[in-house]
Amino acid sequence: MMPEMIKIENVTKKFGQTEVLKDLNGQVQKGQVICVIGPSGGGKSTFLRCLNLLEQPTSGKISFEGQELTSLSEAQINHLREKMGMVFQSFNLFSNMTVLDNVQLAPLKVKKLAAATAKKTAMQLLAQVGLADKAENYPSSLSGGQQQRVAIARALAMNPDVMLFDEPTSALDPEMVGEVLTVMQDLANQGMTMVVVTHEMGFAKSVANQVWFMDGGVFAEKGTPTQIFEHPQNERTKAFLAKILEA
């Protein structure tokens, strides 16, 4: 049996009195691609941000490679985040640095790699996402799709065990969605473990091993893409998919 990479047990999250996540459970196996879908405001992003503790769960347990996260010290959390790459909806490239510096910052500062090594890896990753020629540019001169590809390269530079994607294409113009999804698809083909919060149903259908449908702070339904998209059981899943397909 494949080892669990991430295990989520009874996780809840409250913002003040509002309960955003309610008693979540789930497992991510090594090499799996999980797509989390569902209506806006359903708690998908909060769930994803709990996985690398950008949000602290109110209760419950999250384990990563057998290690319980919620009880870790700050230094241990920093170390843990090295192994969990994250890509944000709004790219969040460091606006004060060039593309190359964005990618090699963490390897230099956190992994303390030699400058030459860090640069070599960074350039390879930029080539992988098709942006080697933009290495000396500042993020503001790049298109949204290019920025997001740099952000993916930046996360990969730490050689993570899992990649978390938080609606990576939602802020993009339609014509740029494809280039980002292609990069993500390549990653999946290389066997990268991925948790992807997305509205791209096509991507979920073709790439995901598992689709988790989330609404109202709970996983209303989990299953293979075929199960979820062809034979949804839950009423809310049905309603959501009907709405998406209409549009």
Partner 1 sequence: MKKIMSWLIILMTVGIALLAGTTQPAQAADDSLTRIKDKGTLVMGTSPDYPPYEFLVNRHGKDQVVGMDVDIAKKVAHDLGVKLVVKKMDFDSLLVALETNKVDMVLAGMSPTPARQKSIDFSKIYYRGGQSIVINKTDKGIYHNKNSFRNKAMGAQTGSIQYNLGKKQIAGSKMKGLAKISDLILALKSHKVEGVIMEEPSAQAYVDNDSNLAMLKNSQFNLGSGENNTAIGFRKGSPALVNAVNRSIDEITQKKLTQGYLKHAGTYMQTNTKNTGMWHYSSYFVKGVAYTLLITIISVFFGILLGVIFALMRLSKVKLLHALGVAYIEFVRGTPLMIQVMFVYFGIGLFVNIPALIAGIIAVSLNSAAYVAEIIRGGINSVAVGQKEAARSLGLSRQQTFKSVVFPQALKNIWPALGNEFISLIKESSIVSIIGVTDLIYQLKAVQTATYKGVMPIVVAMLIYFILTFSLSKLLNFYERKMKHDA
The answer to the question of residue 96 lying near partner 1 (CB under 8 A) is yes
Does residue 17 touch partner 1 according to CB under 8 A? no
Per CB under 8 A, the list member of 74, 136, 175, 246 interacting with partner 1 is: 74
Cβ-based nearer residue to partner 1, 109 or 120? 109
Q: Which residue has the tokens 């339609």?
A: 174
| Contact call for residue 105 and partner 1 (CB under 8 A) | yes
Scanning the structure block, which residue is given the tokens 């049996």?
A: 1
What are the φ/ψ torsions at residue 221 (nearest 5 degrees)?
-160, 140
Q: Which stretch binds partner 1 (CB under 8 A): 19-27, 78-86, 123-131, 210-218?
A: 78-86
Query: Which of 155, 188, 196, 211: binder of partner 1 (CB under 8 A)?
Result: 155
Q: Give CA–CA dist 165/195, Å, rounded.
A: 6
Contact between 168 and partner 1 by CB under 8 A: the answer reads no
**Spatial separation of the C-alpha atoms in residues 203 and 198, rounded to whole Å:** 9
Using the rule CB under 8 A, which residue among 38, 43, 57, 85 binds partner 1? 85
Structure tokens at 138: 């500042």
Residue 110, interface with partner 1 (CB under 8 A)?
A: yes
Q: What is the DSSP letter of 2?
A: P
∠ CA 83-186-88, rounded to 5°: 50
> Residue 32: what residue type?
Q
3-state secondary structure of 32: coil
Residue 227 tokens read as 């199960």
Residue 75 near partner 1 by CB under 8 A: yes
Q: Which of 5, 24, 151, 194 binds partner 1 (CB under 8 A)?
A: 151
The H-or-E segment that residue 106 falls in is helix 99-109
Minimum distance, C-beta of residue 220 to partner 1, in the bound complex (Å): 28
Binding site for partner 1 (CB under 8 A): 52, 54, 74-75, 78-82, 84-86, 88, 90, 92-96, 105-106, 109-110, 138, 140, 151, 154-155, 158
